[in-house]
Amino acid sequence: MIMLPLFALLLGFLIVYILNISLPVGYADYISLIILASLDAIAGGVRARLEGTFDDGIFISGVIFNSMAAVGLAYIGDRMGMSLYLAPVVALGIRIYYNVGRVRRLLMGHAGAAGASPRDSDFERLGC
Amino acid sequence: MRIKAWSWVGPVTMVCFVVGALLALQFTTQRKTGAASRYGRADVLAQMLAGYKAQVDSQDAEINDLRAKLNEYREASTKNQGVLALLNKQLTQDQMALGLTEVMGPGMVMTLDDSTRATQAGEDKEPYLVHDYDLWPVVNELRSAGAEAIAINDQRVVATTAIRCAGSVFNINNVPVASPFVIKAIGDPGALSGALNIPGGVVEQFRASDFPVKVETRKDITIKAVPVAPSFRFAQPVPPEK
């Protein structure tokens, strides 16, 4: 069952790759942001699953709303001539690292141990 | 509890599928646009250039051919005919003035290339390249020193000639030319080279910025005719007043 998401990832990749679909370059930045937001949601989902707090409603809405927020911010930035797309890139990047780090420590059974990584409260203050 | 424990797989699988599809979309987009900018355009342009070059060459050959024929006809028709011979002489003079005939005579040859001065990383290279505005004073000096025919890289400089930057090359008579430049001029060799070499003159200015520049006087220089005679669409002669 754990392999199912990985197979889905591969399947989705292969289908689009073989169909050779492409978009105008102008949309590339937005698609990247959606990918980033989804990767963040997946990492967060896995973490939540390991912590026993997974909720599909929160997960799906997280994917959709985070993607929309990131793309919306980037779009407004483009209109204003300001590199606002960097904001979601940085925020989501930090979150992905945080979630992956949590998953690693949960899998190793050191969930509560204070390590070299920042404490959870540090990220909560950042709004992650 | 078992069902709840696995309930995360469904949504995560769905999102994973979408992410995979988007990644592939992104890869394909990047690959196509990258390829297009790398080969596509250059290839097409190179082909177009080769095509146009062949076209220009064949048209040049045709022009030379037609001019030679015209000369033959003129000579044949004016042999031993006083007035026509005189007119013919006048016509030859006018054609020389317009740059419509190949001319030869003594003069000088100036060679000029982009500056050899090494630029720092990030430094603007523009000041060390030969620009259109670097050639204008050269042509001006030569004309002022009595040059009777001038050519830059075999493009005859006539009354209607423009010397103008067009990207990384110049257009002279609408023909692209690029550095190194060979500027030929027919006239009094001493006067021509002297005009370029005067203190504070064009040659000294080029040397000050390390442009490789050389002026040589020659006894025999040949300068080609303009590729295409100027045509007049707007100007017409004013009828003489009576």
Mutate to test the interface with A, among B1, B6, B23, B33 (most CBs of A within 10 A): B23
**B203 & B111 share domain:** yes
Examine residue B7 and state whether it is found in any structural domain, yes or no: no
Judging contacts by C-beta atoms under 8 Å, the chain A residues touching residue B33 are 25
Look at A11 and B20 and tell me if their CB atoms are within 8 Å. yes
Examine residue B87 and state whether it is found in any structural domain, yes or no: no
Per DSSP, the three-state class of B175 is strand
Examine residue B20 and state whether it is found in any structural domain, yes or no: yes
- Per-residue confidence at B1, pLDDT binned at 50, 70, 90? very low
CATH number, residue B204: 3.30.70.1880
Report, as an integer, the average pLDDT of B140-169: 89
The minimum CA-CA distance between A18 and chain B, rounded to whole Å, is 9
Report, as an integer, the average pLDDT of B191-207: 89
Look at A32 and B26 and tell me if their CB atoms are within 8 Å. yes
**B112 & B217 share domain:** yes
pLDDT, residue B3, reads 46
pLDDT, residue A116, reads 43
Residue (of B221, B213, B219) closest to B150 by Cα position: B221
Q: What percent of chain B has pLDDT over 70?
A: 91
Nearest-angstrom CA–CA distance, B143 and A67: 69
Examine residue A84 and state whether it is found in any structural domain, yes or no: yes
Report, as an integer, the average pLDDT of B143-163: 91
**B152 & B75 share domain:** no
**B145 & B211 share domain:** yes
Residue B187 structural domain: 101-116+128-223
**B164 & B204 share domain:** yes
Do the Cβ atoms of B181 and B169 come closer than 8 Å? no
Examine residue B57 and state whether it is found in any structural domain, yes or no: yes
Say which of A8, A27, A46 has its CB closest to residue B20. A8
Statement: residue A126 has pLDDT above 60: no
Residue A119 structural domain: 25-126
pLDDT, residue B6, reads 67
Q: What percent of chain B has pLDDT over 90?
A: 24
Statement: residue A113 has pLDDT above 50: no
Examine residue A8 and state whether it is found in any structural domain, yes or no: no
Do the Cβ atoms of B202 and B196 come closer than 8 Å? yes
Mutate to test the interface with B, among A59, A64, A103 (most CBs of B within 10 A): A59
Examine residue B121 and state whether it is found in any structural domain, yes or no: no
- Per-residue confidence at B141, pLDDT binned at 50, 70, 90? very high
Min mean pLDDT across A58-62, A109-113, B10-14, B195-199 is at A109-113
- Tell me the average pLDDT of chain B: 84
**B175 & B109 share domain:** yes
Min mean pLDDT across A45-54, B72-81, B128-137, B184-193 is at B72-81
Tokens in use for B236? 């017409």
Dihedral of the CA atoms B174, B180, B186, B189 (nearest 10)? 160
The answer to whether B6 contacts chain A (CB < 8 Å) is yes
Question: Tens digit of pLDDT for each residue in B33-92?
Answer: 765 555 566 777 878 888 888 888 888 888 888 888 888 887 777 766 777 777 878 888
**B156 & B202 share domain:** yes
Examine residue A30 and state whether it is found in any structural domain, yes or no: yes
Question: Tens digit of pLDDT for each residue in A5-37?
Answer: 888 889 999 998 888 887 877 788 888 899 999
pLDDT, residue A115, reads 45
Question: Tens digit of pLDDT for each residue in B108-118?
Answer: 999 999 888 77
pLDDT, residue A1, reads 67
Examine residue A18 and state whether it is found in any structural domain, yes or no: no
- Per-residue confidence at B107, pLDDT binned at 50, 70, 90? very high
Nearest-angstrom CA–CA distance, A115 and A97: 15
Q: What is the DSSP letter of B39?
A: I
- Number of domains into which chain A is organized: 1
**B61 & B106 share domain:** no
Q: Which residues pair with B75 in a beta bridge?
A: none
**B106 & B213 share domain:** yes
pLDDT, residue A121, reads 55
Examine residue B149 and state whether it is found in any structural domain, yes or no: yes
Statement: residue A123 has pLDDT above 60: no
Bridge-based pairing state of the strands B103-112 and B213-223: antiparallel
Report, as an integer, the average pLDDT of B167-187: 87
**B105 & B135 share domain:** yes
The minimum CA-CA distance between A98 and chain B, rounded to whole Å, is 18
pLDDT, residue B139, reads 93
**B70 & B172 share domain:** no
**Higher model confidence: residue B194 or residue B97?**
B194
- Number of domains into which chain B is organized: 2
Question: What value of ipTM does the predicted structure carry?
Answer: 0.76
pLDDT, residue A67, reads 92
Examine residue B5 and state whether it is found in any structural domain, yes or no: no
Examine residue A59 and state whether it is found in any structural domain, yes or no: yes
